[in-house]
Every structure is written in structure tokens, then in C-alpha cells.
Amino acid sequence: MQYFWLLSGLYMGWSLGVNDPSHIFGTAYITNMLKWKTIATLLCVFIIIGALLQGKAGLENLGSLAKQTNLSAFISAFVAATTVLIMAGKFSLPASTSQAMLGAIIGIAVVNDGSSFSMPPKVWSMMLSWILTPGGCIILTFILYPLFAKIFQKMGIATADGEMDTTADAAHQKKYNTILNAGVILAGCYGAYALGANNLANVTGVYYGTLLDANGAIWLGALSICLGVLTYGKQITDKVMKTVGKELVELTKFGSFLAVISMAIVMQIYAVVGIPVSSAMALVGGTLAIGIYRRQINKTSIRALRRTILGWIFTPIMGFVLSYVIYFVLKNFLHFA
């Protein structure tokens, strides 16, 4: 019977695997730099490595937010996964798995504690990360952009804005593409590693210490994420990257590299301190910084940003409401333990 309760954890991992490839390799995909089979392979390999090497800190942190029962863990994971799929699949928005999971956990905690409920300090830290994650990526991208642009320019293969010098000879243009393609792939691999290290907690953190030990939580989480990547990740990437990589800012290969490397660095930092954060928020922050730096923000960008922010506002609210209602009904009317 205990394996039944883990089904929503599998569903949660699948949902994350469906949703988050767009944040890691989506920019490379929409610029036709890599085939989807190559992207899926790299994602799975480095997600597993990240989960194995640095996933435990986030598990311990998320697992300690609230005392979990089999039922509460099941509902938290189920609601968070459903919320992410609705936001990404229905509305084509870069949904935050971290927000959905935190909203679901809080909704159940409110039912259990009633009027005595109070926000644990760790919850406030996680909510603060909703601002610091995109903000950190904006700052980091502003630092990295002129740095890499100058490096490429000194190599004689790029213009002052880091883009390929179309007036250069064929050899220099080939060198530019070779270096940048390698950079985008390495950044994506690093991003996949950071995703596995940081977001594993969102998948199986609610089970840690109850149904699963650290080893079980890591492997179940990592493999279920990979299952999502392999089954439906391509379709969601097509939808979400239309919003982020085309409507928000028209990303080039150079912009793709900078946005993903900034996202990966910020997620890596949070993985070390054990706070699962949103790869969607990180990517949007980096992408927005590129648009601002290159003065490419227009009415379409503002509309896309407005939709994205509304998605971030409604994601935790939806997670909270759904988990509160479902858990309240099951506990008080159907008398589930």
C-alpha cells in the first residue's frame, strides 16, 4: 500500500521533467542548435548527476517544513504537479514548481493547524527567493554580458554586442559558431545539473524521512524527472519558449548562452543552501536582462512579462487553494487519516 502514496511523487517528477527542459535547453532548441534527442539525453544524464551529488540538502530543508503523513505528502505532490501542468500546458507560462509545491504544503498545514498556524521562518526564506532568484539573474547577466562580449570581440569573431561579425571571413564566423555552440551546450549541461541538485526536493522532499530515505528519494525523484523529459518535454518546450524566447525577448545563441549560464549559477548557489528555487524565474530574469541591456524591450515584451508575473502570482495561490480544499474534504468529511 505504501507504494500507492508514491504515485503522486512520480507524477510530480514527471511534471517537472515535462515543464523544466524549456528553462534549460529551450533557448538552444528554438534556435535549432540541438536536436531534441540530444537535448533529452544531456538533460537526463546531468539531472541524475546533480541529484546524486547535491540533492540531499534541499530534501532535508523541504522535508522539515511541515510534518507529513502519507496522505498529506500525496496531496502536496499531486496538487503541485497539476498546478504546474495547467500553467505551462494550458497557459504556456514558465510555471514555478517551487511555488506550486510551497503553496500546496502551506494549504495542508493551514488545515491541520487551524487558527494556530504560523509561517515557519524557512517559508519566508523560500518566498524571498521568489524575488531574489530573478533579481540575482538580472544582476549576474548584466555582469556577464559585457564580459563575454569583450572576450569574443578581442578574439576578432564578434561585434561589440557579442553577436557574430557578419563582415568577418568564413573562418572567423565558423570559429564563432563553434565556440558559442560549445558554450551553449556546456551551459545547458550545467543548468541540468543545477536543476537536479536544486529541484529534486520539489519532487520527493515531502516523502523524505517518512516513506523514503535519502537514497530512495534521490533516485525516485531523478528518474521520474527524466521520464517527463522523455515523454512530453518537447511539446511543452515548444509552448513555453514561445513566451520566453520569442515574445519576452528574441534570443540569439549568444543571449541563450548568457541566460542559461546565469540561471544555472543562481540555482547552484541555492542548491548549496538547500532552498529549491524556480528555474523559470531564473531564466526569465536572465532573458529580461538581455532585453534591457540591448534595448529590445517593447510592447510585446511587456505583455509577455505581465503574463509571466501573473503566472507567478497565481501558481502558489492555485497550489494553496487546491491542496486546502482537497485535504479539508478528505480529512473532515471522508475521514482519511
Strand, helix or coil for residue 189: helix
Segments of the chain with pLDDT less than 70: 1, 27, 31, 94, 238-247, 337
Residue 337 placed within a domain = no
* Cβ-Cβ contacts under 8 Å for 124 (sequence gap 6 or more): none
Per-residue pLDDT tens over the stretch 284-336:
899 999 999 999 888 888 988 898 898 899 999 999 999 999 999 999 888 77
Residue 322 placed within a domain = yes
Residue 74 placed within a domain = yes
Q: Which domain, by its residues, includes 39?
A: 2-332
Residue 47 placed within a domain = yes
Per-residue pLDDT tens over the stretch 103-149:
999 999 999 988 788 888 889 999 999 999 999 999 999 999 999 99
pLDDT for res 216:
95
Residue 167 placed within a domain = yes
Task: Report the domain count for the chain.
Answer: 1
- Residue 235's CB is within 10 A of a number of other CB atoms, namely 11
Give the whole-angstrom CA distance, residue 184 versus residue 198. 20
Residue 257 placed within a domain = yes
Residue 159 placed within a domain = yes
User: What is the share, in percent, of the chain residues with pLDDT greater than 70?
Assistant: 95
